[in-house]
Structure 1
């Protein structure tokens, strides 16, 4: 050690800092002899503080610190050719569980320029890693349980749809048969929504695949002759939260069902086109058909439940609905424009959908061909 009193004072200060540290620290020479150890290091690893100073790192405890890889890294650090950054090691001691440690080491200017000093910091992450594994296991178990619930929901919806269709075949009243068929279509559309949402990850839904699959399901259940009627989907790369996708999916379902039922009477041929575009938080959804167009005046049927559902969903999405004549056919456009400087919350939650009827406006605007 140099006789320079200033350098000696700095070295003594370093020793004091190391010994009193609340973190497990070792102050080492370049040949890995212990100059000082913090009390927390000795306490954490059951080492007698009186036996530490002057011993090599590999001799501490019962020799459990004799790790060739750690020794090699410390030698490289002392030479200036490497640094130990968050190096993970397993500490194995007799009659103790293996501990997972993260070590960091660097050279330290202790004021003695003739000798290299190393400061080794040790963190025991065993409990933290165990907690992380437990959380991962819980998440995995939850995912498995959720998947099982989704399968049960899908099976239940299929059973309900089957019962509705069987009932529709048995009843004599044409009006009752129509109501049962409408209910069947809605249950099938909800089943399609549930099936798509069950495959989404991270809480977000990619709309192109989602709406495409939904419309394929609707077409399969309602279009008897694909050569006469078809559904086309043009959607950009937008992704939305699952709750928002539910509302958009229900809107698409109701308007597509409406067009299939009313826009193409007398075996007319035609196409329904669903388009979705977004820019930032602004978005536009349109459902267009080239059917017979809007009925007006006394020829317009009364508004139905579907109209109220669509209007309520549009309201909850903080959007506007606009009807226009496509000549031929009809276009329903739903658009949301974010006011400048306004941060919008999530739109519609699944719980809010359960209370949807209470939000239906008492005097809804008339859709082109009211949804029954």
Structure 2
């Protein structure tokens, strides 16, 4: 849509494009000149060469059209605010890349310098030749398009650089995470193998040695407890070990494996906060020994009974009590909660947890208390 006016265009007038709306032509020129005849002449000339034209007579009216045009043809000698002042404001406050061609009768060196210092991209001297004016306008439009294309390319390159940096940073963090996971995996494998070898060595160094079948069954039970903790850790994303859940599952597994589910009850009460990996493994193995010994030795001759496990935290100290109402035992005897696994339990609680194993008085059966600090000792 081509627009030609001799006075300032009213954006709300019917038939005129609204301010900021770009006419659908190859290029649109904003002509600013206070002389009606000059304004008409510029408009006719530019339209004849295929340009869209917006023409205004006052410099102040130019600002509302800047978003709609590709070039400003600006008379230097405007009444009120001159063209140099208008040009400077366009470049400083609106769009420094929008080409401005000044039209001036003053071509002395100082005036030319003043024109370029105001930010003009080119100038045309009055009186002008139509071919020269058109050539200068087309030249500035080519430069303008190139500048816009370069600006768009820089914007795209900047976005691509940001994207590449984001991808690089993500790749770096992924690599660091993989490296950390590999180190953590190596650490876990070494620790787990150390625990397993420790269990094997305990059984091998046992005096007097147990029959092979009994020793293998005991070792299998310990390994199952170990795997139970591993499974819980995996499910909890290796954050904490849910001890009560481990104790419940372990006690049920041991009771069922010994065929005692019909005559020995299990009672598990209380709770403790989630434990770390080291605490979880040590306590699971210790509980395996205590529960196994209680089920195996406290209820002979088809005697019914109950094994109780109570979990509590008191003043930053964890307290795990395992008791039964079986036949009880005297110090040094093999029956009851501690029984033959005493050395293993004490090694785990004292060595791994920095805690104590205490046999408590009981009117019936056996009671053993494991206590250790909430914060584990340094490895």
Higher relative contact order (CA 8 A, sep 6+): 1
Higher helix content, 1 or 2: 2
TM-score (norm 2): 0.48
The higher radius of gyration belongs to 2
Higher strand content, 1 or 2: 1
TM-score (norm 1): 0.49
